[in-house]
């Protein structure tokens, strides 16, 4: 779901290791390659993914592995860059010991690696790449090796627009990242406007991780006199933009931000200006389900903090691979069997359609209160109706 820049760097076993996370001996380990931004501007997302996957594999191996075989992990850093993702995918494809792939976080990186994995006969399951463009590419190219446990942004875009309507806003401005994530959200939001009773009065774009001064965009937005600003981007950029609203007389403007802003550092970086912001998320840590609370407790014990979206969806993927293997999947038919799996996990029930898209999952609405994200059950319910 996330993209951005940074210097060229590829971390493989030398840094993170082709690592067993249990210490159990196994003659035939199941090697999973995990790709994502482990360093750079998007490292917060990749590290969360890493933690979720590692914790899942530790639990699986502690319970005897998969049919007696342990899982081992090989982490490769893509920094959410398409070129680095393609390089990482080529290295993975050349390793005959890799059984399957987890990742990438960013949709642009996933799109760059996907054809390489397809040609190599490798299954890839993502917990963060949300661009609807992936579904289009899968359909057009026949990439049957891909699935994702997180919903498409086609759903998020509509819900962000609906949230503005539920909040009784009329005049909408949109600030969106100039990458696939931001552009896709913006396009789907435009499509959702007709008949909504909302008017799009201004739209501005910015370059993720590079734009620091948002005054030109915000000045143009202020001139359109909006009563709500939708931000389609990431926590660090959103924090900077929100922190500069008062410069152009928009300090009291209502804010609705995309799931990419669901990071605690949004409040840390943006300070008091983030207070009252509404943020959409695909994951609800307060969900009282048994599966989710067991996961939250395990994550807190391991890392001393609450799990977020990337950690939670990443956590589910090794278990989905485990189920598929226990159902007889081999490396060759893994993708087909994965698409037929039903898994109950922290984020709810996971099952897939014919394109590998997850079905039946919905997000939650949070609001920043006293410097923390607080789920708003009424607003969340209103979006599901």
Q: Which has more confidence, 288 or 214?
A: 214
User: Residue 19: what pLDDT?
Assistant: 53
Average pLDDT of span 271-283: 96
Q: Which has more confidence, 287 or 145?
A: 145
Go through the domains of the chain in sequence order and give each one's CATH number: 18-151+287-350 (3.40.50.2300), 154-281+364-384 (3.40.50.2300)
* Burial class for 108, CB neighbours closer than 10 Å (0-12, 13-18, 19+): buried
Distance in angstroms (rounded) separating the CA atoms of residues 160 and 198: 12
User: Residue 59: what pLDDT?
Assistant: 98
* Burial class for 252, CB neighbours closer than 10 Å (0-12, 13-18, 19+): exposed
Residues 69-121: tens digit of each pLDDT: 999 999 999 999 999 999 999 999 999 999 999 999 999 999 999 999 999 99
Closest by CA position to 264, among listed 220, 308, 312: 308
Q: Look up residue 188 and give its DSSP letter.
A: H
Strands 18-20 vs 98-103: parallel, antiparallel or unpaired: unpaired
Average pLDDT of span 136-145: 96
Q: Which residues contact 275 (CB under 8 A, 6 or more apart)?
A: 368, 369, 370, 371
Q: Which has more confidence, 23 or 298?
A: 298
- Dihedral angle, C-alpha 323, 324, 327, 329, nearest 10 °: -150
Query: What is the average pLDDT score of the chain?
Result: 91
Distance in angstroms (rounded) separating the CA atoms of residues 253 and 245: 8
How many alpha carbons lie under 13 Å from residue 338 in its C-beta half-sphere?
31
Q: Indicate if the pLDDT at residue 12 is higher than 50.
A: no
Q: Which has more confidence, 325 or 131?
A: 325
Residues 283-304: tens digit of each pLDDT: 989 889 999 999 999 999 999 9
Q: What percent of the chain has pLDDT over 90?
A: 84
Contact by Cβ (8 Å): 31, 135: no
User: Residue 4: what pLDDT?
Assistant: 27
Least confident of 22-36, 97-111, 266-280: 22-36
User: Residue 382: what pLDDT?
Assistant: 85
User: Residue 14: what pLDDT?
Assistant: 35
User: Residue 385: what pLDDT?
Assistant: 64
Average pLDDT of span 1-19: 37
Distance in angstroms (rounded) separating the CA atoms of residues 41 and 233: 13
User: Residue 195: what pLDDT?
Assistant: 84
User: Residue 10: what pLDDT?
Assistant: 38
Contact by Cβ (8 Å): 198, 161: yes
* Distance set, CA 311 to CA 128, 223, 272 (Å): 9, 40, 27
For tokens 């939250």, what's the residue? 296
* Reported confidence tier of residue 360, pLDDT bands at 50, 70, 90: confident
User: Residue 16: what pLDDT?
Assistant: 43
Least confident of 19-33, 80-94, 367-381: 19-33
Q: Indicate if the pLDDT at residue 11 is higher than 50.
A: no
Residues composing the chain: 385
User: Backbone phi, then psi, for 200, in 5-degree steps?
Assistant: -85, 105
Residues 51-60: tens digit of each pLDDT: 999 999 999 9
User: Residue 230: what pLDDT?
Assistant: 98
* Distance set, CA 357 to CA 72, 121, 148 (Å): 26, 19, 6
Distance in angstroms (rounded) separating the CA atoms of residues 32 and 49: 13
Distance in angstroms (rounded) separating the CA atoms of residues 170 and 124: 41
């Amino acid at each position: 779901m996330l993209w951005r820049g940074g210097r060229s760097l590829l971390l493989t076993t030398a840094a993170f290791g082709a690592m067993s996370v249990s210490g159990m001996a196994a003659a035939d380990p199941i090697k999973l390659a995990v790709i994502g931004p482990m360093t750079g501007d998007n490292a917060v997302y990749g590290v969360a993914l890493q933690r979720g996957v590692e914790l899942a594999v530790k639990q699986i191996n502690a319970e005897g592995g998969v049919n007696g075989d342990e899982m081992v992990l090989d982490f490769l850093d893509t920094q959410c860059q398409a070129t680095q993702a393609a390089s990482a995918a080529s290295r993975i494809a050349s390793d005959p010991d890799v059984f399957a792939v987890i990742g990438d976080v960013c949709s642009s990186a996933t799109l760059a690696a996907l054809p390489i994995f397809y040609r190599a006969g490798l299954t890839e399951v993502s917990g963060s790449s949300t661009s609807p463009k992936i579904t289009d590419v899968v359909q057009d190219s026949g990439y049957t090796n891909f699935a994702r446990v997180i919903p498409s942004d086609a759903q998020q875009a509509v819900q962000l627009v609906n949230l503005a309507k539920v909040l009784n806003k009329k005049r909408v401005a949109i600030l969106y990242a100039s990458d696939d994530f931001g552009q896709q959200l913006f396009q789907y939001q435009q499509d959702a406007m007709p008949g909504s009773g909302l008017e799009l009065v201004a739209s501005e774009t910015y370059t993720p991780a590079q734009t620091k001064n948002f005054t030109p965009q915000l000045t143009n937005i202020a001139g359109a006199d909006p009563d709500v600003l939708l931000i389609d981007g990431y926590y660090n950029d959103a924090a900077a933009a929100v922190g500069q609203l008062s410069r152009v007389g928009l300090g009291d403007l209502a804010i609705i931000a995309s799931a990419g802003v669901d990071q605690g550092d949004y409040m840390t970086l943006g300070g008091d200006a983030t207070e009252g912001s509404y943020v959409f998320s695909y994951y609800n840590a307060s969900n009282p389900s048994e599966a989710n609370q067991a996961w939250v407790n395990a994550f807190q014990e391991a890392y001393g903090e609450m799990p977020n979206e990337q950690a939670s969806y990443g956590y589910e993927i090794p278990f989905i691979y485990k189920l598929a293997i226990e159902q007889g999947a081999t490396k060759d038919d893994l993708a087909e069997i994965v698409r037929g799996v039903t898994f109950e996990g922290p984020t709810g029930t996971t099952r897939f359609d014919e394109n590998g898209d997850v079905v039946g999952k919905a997000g939650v609405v949070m609001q920043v209160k006293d410097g923390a994200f607080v789920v708003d059950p009424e607003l969340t319910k209103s979006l599901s109706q």
